[in-house]
């Protein structure tokens, strides 16, 4: 760089903020990304596919960008150059902002699946891209929330299907609800699981309802698994006894 690197402030000469050339800026950003590569790799969110879980992905993406000092670009508009202003430092700061915003937008696009990348790469700034994603998927999430809620309310357990398969299916619905930002306390989940047990489990359900000691959801699932195994063993023993009785009768 050449020229006087000072500014006049109230008649006093003070050092001016140095302006980075594009090459210097690119080198600095590369070093910053390299320095955060190891520590931030665990913070990098999975790629968003346009389905459920936008709110969770968005929060993770915000933390990831903040770890690289890029979160500001989600809300900032591009700086504008006053008409007729050709000050090298003003122009340099604008270039610096544009480079940082470009890197931020690239990080967001990189965490989208290919189809969404192609669709949203048209946006010029990080803020415009971020707002477009919010407008599309936060609106969609309200419909997804209703869908998950309906699935939960209509879920019924039956005796014709293995009990643990149905328990796992209900757990997946709980996870969908959590991902949509509608957290349910474990006490409620536990009580719902008890109430949704099929008719063939009515005696065990009655036992659980009158059990004084509170149970967590994990405890309940463990008890159901043990009870299911016991029922299976009892059924096998009955079948073996029946087979022996038939064999003796034929003999």
Q: Write the DSSP string, 135-149.
A: HHHHHHHHHHHHHHH
Assess whether 30 and 125 both reside in one domain: yes
Alpha helices, H only, the chain: 22-40, 54-67, 88-110, 114-120, 126-154, 163-179, 186-195, 202-209, 217-250
Per-residue model confidence (pLDDT) at position 124: 93
- DSSP secondary-structure letter at 25? H
Residue with tokens 């009768």, as numbered in its chain: 249
Q: Which of 4-8, 18-22, 71-75 has the highest mean pLDDT?
A: 71-75
Q: Confirm whether 91 is domain-assigned.
A: yes
Assess whether 26 and 125 both reside in one domain: yes
Assess whether 72 and 195 both reside in one domain: no
Assess whether 27 and 121 both reside in one domain: yes
Q: Confirm whether 149 is domain-assigned.
A: no
Q: Confirm whether 199 is domain-assigned.
A: yes
Residue with tokens 């699981």, as numbered in its chain: 193
Label residue 181 by pLDDT band (50, 70, 90).
Answer: confident
Assess whether 18 and 132 both reside in one domain: yes
Q: How many domains does the chain have?
A: 2
Q: Is 1 helix (H, G, I), strand (E, B) or coil?
A: coil
This prediction has a pTM of 0.48
Domain containing 179: what range? Answer: 155-250
Assess whether 117 and 178 both reside in one domain: no
Average pLDDT of the residues in 126-132? 95
CB 6 within 8 A of CB 88: no
Per-residue model confidence (pLDDT) at position 244: 41
| Backbone torsions φ then ψ of 71, nearest 5 degrees | -60, -30
């Amino acid at each position: 760089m050449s020229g006087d690197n000072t500014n006049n402030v109230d008649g006093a000469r003070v050092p001016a903020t140095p302006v980075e050339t594009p090459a210097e800026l690119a080198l600095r950003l590369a070093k910053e990304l390299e320095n955060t590569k190891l520590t931030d790799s665990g913070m990098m969110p999975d790629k968003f596919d346009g389905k459920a879980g936008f709110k969770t992905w968005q929060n993770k993406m915000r933390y990831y960008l903040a770890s690289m000092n890029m979160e500001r670009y989600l809300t900032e508009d591009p700086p504008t150059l006053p008409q007729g202003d050709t000050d090298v430092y003003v122009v340099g700061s604008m270039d610096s902002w544009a480079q940082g915003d470009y890197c931020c937008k690239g990080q967001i696009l990189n965490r989208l699946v290919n189809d969404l990348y192609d669709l949203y790469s048209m946006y010029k700034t990080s803020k415009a891209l971020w707002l477009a994603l919010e407008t599309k998927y936060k609106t969609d999430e309200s419909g997804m929330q209703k869908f998950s809620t309906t699935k939960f309310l209509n879920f019924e357990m039956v005796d014709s299907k293995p009990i643990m398969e149905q328990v796992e299916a209900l757990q997946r619905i709980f996870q969908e609800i959590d991902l949509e930002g509608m957290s349910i306390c474990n006490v409620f989940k536990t009580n719902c699981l008890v109430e949704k047990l099929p008719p063939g489990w009515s005696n065990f359900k009655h036992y659980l309802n009158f059990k004084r000691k509170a149970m967590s959801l994990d405890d309940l699932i463990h008890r159901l698994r043990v009870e299911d195994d016991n029922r299976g063993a009892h059924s096998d023993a009955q079948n073996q006894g029946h087979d022996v009785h038939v064999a003796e009768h034929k003999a």
